[in-house]
């Protein structure tokens, strides 16, 4: 679509919406001095530009079109990574998104083996708000762990555990089922530390066997099979923006 928007936009978001591989790649382009705004090299990724008025060039090529705000929900399959490039040449979630793979960025990440709900967008303001340390977006996980989790261990998870220099906030933890050698749990968090669920259950002696994120805020995979995705409904975007305080 042609650029007609008048609202100021951070340069990094403008480039991401122009299809330059998401915010991380756009940030690298800016830092490398490859982006000019109105004829001047711009290295401030948060510089506000007026999409319809300012002339933005990457490697001397004028950007004439940008993508509209795009919001995608995926049911992430296991054994895929949440980055655009992997030196081990493993499959990335972006390869599943077709033409949108170069336009959107995941809101947070899921580990290689972790499955379930993963949100993508080129709306940098919303993505930042949802992943901010002050954000209280609830994430719900279904977790299969080794061994039998007893009442005392459950309470430790609920109260908060030390996961290596950080004590987790209280969480909602419930037993879904028990097998001879494992336990299925449902864990609800409002934090998003690196590999938090795996570190929590390991801290009480029960390493994760399988991890599925069932919900991210109001979003659920629903009928999406592993690897499938869909665009969010307008009502879902409004819910996310409300949760994010926007």
- Catalytic residue list: 111
DSSP strand pairing (208-216 vs 115-121): parallel
Residue 243 and residue 173: Cα distance in Å, rounded? 22
């Amino acid at each position: 679509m042609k650029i007609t928007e008048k609202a100021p936009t951070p340069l990094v978001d403008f480039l991401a919406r122009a299809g330059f591989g998401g915010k991380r790649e756009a940030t690298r382009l800016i830092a490398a001095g490859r982006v000019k705004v109105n004829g001047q090299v711009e290295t401030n990724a948060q510089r506000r530009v007026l999409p319809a008025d300012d002339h933005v060039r990457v490697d001397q090529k004028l950007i004439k079109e940008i993508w509209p705000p795009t919001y995608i929900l995926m049911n992430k399959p296991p054994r895929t990574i949440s980055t655009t490039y992997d030196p081990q040449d493993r499959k990335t979630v972006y390869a599943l998104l077709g033409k949108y793979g170069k336009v959107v960025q995941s809101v947070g990440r899921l580990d290689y083996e972790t499955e379930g709900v993963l949100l993508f967008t080129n709306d940098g303001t919303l993505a930042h708000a949802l992943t901010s340390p002050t954000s209280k977006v609830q994430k719900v996980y279904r977790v299969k762990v080794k061994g039998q989790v007893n009442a005392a261990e459950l309470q430790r998870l609920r109260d908060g555990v030390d996961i290596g220099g950080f004590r987790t906030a209280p969480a909602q933890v419930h037993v879904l089922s028990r097998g001879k050698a494992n336990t299925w749990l449902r864990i609800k968090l409002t934090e998003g530390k690196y590999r938090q669920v795996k570190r929590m259950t390991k801290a009480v002696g029960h390493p994760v066997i399988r991890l599925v994120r069932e919900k991210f805020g109001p979003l659920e995979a629903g009928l999406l099979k592993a690897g499938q995705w869909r665009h969010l409904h307008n009502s879902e975007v409004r819910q996310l923006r409300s949760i994010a305080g926007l």
